[in-house]
Each structure stands twice: as structure tokens, then as C-alpha cells.
């Protein structure tokens, strides 16, 4: 796929016609950025309608060495041109599937409580491809409640780590705990595809050292159901203990 075609395909996925004003959101996020420490993560406010960055945090240059003023001027296309050529089609497919799922399966009143995650390889300023895991939370929607403005959080991971391209949609429930509603692996089919969305939620909470009782309360299920999920997870992944599972997840985060 030619990189010059990315803009048209991406724009079609997120096609909308409204022009929301985000003055208040952007002002507060800029204020927050002043106090955040430097780290291996950065965040942006993305506008998928105009294909621009409304804001880029100071950590971006520290993480991947790119000139944020140049990205603010040239927009998303400049950023996309740095995506690994082998990842472009899978990345676009992941975004398209997330949008289709949202519009078809997520009720209007729940879309403001959704969070989306996907990943790709990106060329840094020193011409090294690093892994980027992007998590985006919608801030504004068009008249059809299609997300068009988002707060995007980027985590940079060493290029030596092999990460399949996946896409996840999660809903913040009434207990303020994210539940997996959609997951798809767009790279090679791995054993992890055999895990259910609920099992992924249990795994994520286990890595936070939550007990079965705490997990049950977070996900509105019984402790016995949690224990059943734990046994099924270990069996599917051919692992003997929860401790071994958590240790493995520290190496390969694609399971969650």
C-alpha cells in the first residue's frame, strides 16, 4: 500500500462533518503536561476529522526524538508516514474494525465510557523502529456519536520485543473498572485468541495483584466464577500457576 493513500483511507474510516470546540479540554491538558515527569510515555489530543494534532505533550520528543512543532504543523500524515510498511494495512484494518464494532454494538449512551487500544511499529528520529501501544479515549463526538476527538496515550516499548498487532475496545463499567468488549489479533493467530474477553479482564486484574474476591467485585461476578476463569486460563495457556502466568505477562503484554 502506498503511504500517500493512508490519509484517504483513514479519513474514510473516521468520516464526519461536525467541528467541535475543545477549548476547555485542551487548556486543562496543557496545564497538566507542565507538571508531568519525563517518562517512556507521551500523549496527544488527536482530531480524526481534520487529521491534526490539537496538542502534543513534551515527552514525545524525549520518547521518540521527533520535533513536536513539526508534527503540530503537518498533522497526522507526517506521523503515519513513519509507521512500519509491514504494519500499515493491519493498522488500518484494526482501526476500521474498532469503528465498525463501536457504531454497531455500543449504545449511544455508553460511547463516552469507551477506551480503545491498538499498536504498531514507528520509526523514531534515529531511524529505529520502536513499538507503540496507543490507547485513545474519546473526548468529543459528531452528530452520529462517532468519536472524532480523542486523548491518545502512547507507550514506547523496545523494538526487540515482538508484539502482534491487536485492537481492543473496553467499557468503563459502573464500578469504574474497564471490561473488554472487543479484542482481535490482526497478526498471526496465537493461542491467546482462545481467551475470552472476560478471561482477559481477569488476567489484567490478576496482574494488579487483585484477589478473586476483589476481581469479582470489580467485574460484578461471583468469586466462584472468577476461580473458574482462572482455572480455564491456566489450562488454555498450559501454565501451572497464577504466579507463572503473571511472570509471563511481564514479558508478553499481548495477552491483555
* pLDDT exceeds cutoff 50 at 191: no
pTM: 0.70
Mean pLDDT, range 182-198, rounded to an integer: 72
pLDDT score, position 249: 64
* pLDDT exceeds cutoff 60 at 24: no
Cell numbers for 6: 493512508
Domain coordinates in residue numbering, the chain: 3-188, 189-256
* pLDDT exceeds cutoff 80 at 7: no
Task: Please give the residue that has the higher pLDDT: either 162 or 170.
Answer: 170
Closest CA to 48 of 13, 21, 22: 13
pLDDT score, position 21: 46
* pLDDT exceeds cutoff 70 at 184: yes
* pLDDT exceeds cutoff 60 at 135: yes
- Helix, strand, or coil here: 146? coil
Percentage of residues in the chain with pLDDT exceeding 70? 77
CATH of domain 3-188: 3.30.450.20
Q: What is the C-alpha to C-alpha distance for residues 189 and 128, in angstroms, rounded to an integer?
A: 26
pLDDT score, position 20: 45
Q: What is the C-alpha to C-alpha distance for residues 37 and 43, in angstroms, rounded to an integer?
A: 13
Q: What is the C-alpha to C-alpha distance for residues 54 and 61, in angstroms, rounded to an integer?
A: 16
Same fold, 3-188 and 189-256: no
Q: What is the C-alpha to C-alpha distance for residues 182 and 205, in angstroms, rounded to an integer?
A: 17
Task: Please give the residue that has the higher pLDDT: either 7 or 163.
Answer: 163
- Helix, strand, or coil here: 181? strand
Q: Say which residues have a Cβ less than 8 Å from residue 93's Cβ, sequence separation at least 6.
A: 186
Model confidence band, residue 190 (pLDDT cutoffs 50, 70, 90)? very low
Closest CA to 255 of 206, 200, 184: 200
201-254 pLDDT tens trace:
888 888 777 888 999 998 989 999 999 988 888 887 767 677 767 766 655 555
pLDDT score, position 105: 92
- Helices then strands, counting H and E runs in the chain, come out as 10, 7
27-86 pLDDT tens trace:
655 666 665 555 678 989 999 888 999 899 988 998 999 999 999 999 999 999 999 999
Domain 189-256 adopts which CATH fold? Arc Repressor Mutant, subunit A (1.10.10)
- For the chain, how many residues are written? 256
**130-139, 193-202, 244-253: which has the minimum mean pLDDT?**
244-253
Q: What is the C-alpha to C-alpha distance for residues 171 and 112, in angstroms, rounded to an integer?
A: 9
What angle, 0 to 180 degrees and rounded to 10, lies between the N-to-C axes of helices 223-236 and 197-206? 100
* pLDDT exceeds cutoff 80 at 3: no
Spatial contact of 256 and 192, defined as CB atoms under 8 Å apart? no
**Which sign, positive or negative, has the C-alpha torsion 55, 157, 129, 134?**
negative
- Helix, strand, or coil here: 79? helix
* pLDDT exceeds cutoff 70 at 196: yes
Q: What is the C-alpha to C-alpha distance for residues 188 and 165, in angstroms, rounded to an integer?
A: 9
Amino acid at each position: 500500500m502506498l503511504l500517500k493513500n493512508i490519509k484517504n483511507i483513514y479519513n474514510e474510516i473516521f468520516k464526519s462533518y461536525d467541528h467541535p470546540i475543545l477549548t476547555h479540554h485542551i487548556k486543562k491538558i496543557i496545564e497538566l503536561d507542565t507538571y508531568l515527569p519525563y517518562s517512556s510515555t507521551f500523549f496527544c489530543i488527536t482530531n480524526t476529522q481534520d487529521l491534526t494534532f490539537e496538542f502534543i505533550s513534551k515527552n514525545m520528543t524525549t520518547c521518540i526524538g521527533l520535533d513536536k512543532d513539526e508534527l503540530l504543523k503537518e498533522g497526522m500524515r507526517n506521523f503515519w508516514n513513519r509507521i512500519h510498511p509491514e504494519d500499515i494495512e493491519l493498522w488500518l484494518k484494526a482501526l476500521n474494525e474498532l469503528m465498525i464494532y463501536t457504531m454497531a454494538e455500543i449504545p449511544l449512551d455508553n460511547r463516552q465510557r469507551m477506551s480503545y487500544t491498538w499498536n504498531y511499529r514507528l520509526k523514531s528520529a534515529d531511524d529505529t523502529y520502536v513499538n507503540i501501544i496507543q490507547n485513545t479515549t474519546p473526548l468529543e463526538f459528531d452528530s452520529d456519536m462517532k468519536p472524532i476527538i480523542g486523548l491518545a496515550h502512547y507507550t514506547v516499548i523496545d523494538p526487540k520485543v515482538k508484539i502482534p498487532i491487536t485492537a481492543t475496545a473496553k467499557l468503563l463499567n459502573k464500578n469504574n473498572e474497564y471490561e473488554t468488549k472487543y479484542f482481535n489479533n490482526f497478526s498471526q493467530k496465537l493461542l491467546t485468541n482462545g481467551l475470552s474477553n472476560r478471561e482477559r479482564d481477569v488476567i489484567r486484574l490478576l496482574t494488579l495483584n487483585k484477589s478473586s474476591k476483589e476481581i469479582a467485585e470489580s467485574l460484578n461476578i461471583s468469586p466462584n466464577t472468577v476461580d473458574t476463569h482462572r482455572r480455564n486460563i491456566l489450562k488454555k495457556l498450559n501454565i501451572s500457576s497464577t504466579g507463572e502466568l503473571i511472570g509471563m505477562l511481564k514479558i508478553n503484554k499481548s495477552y491483555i
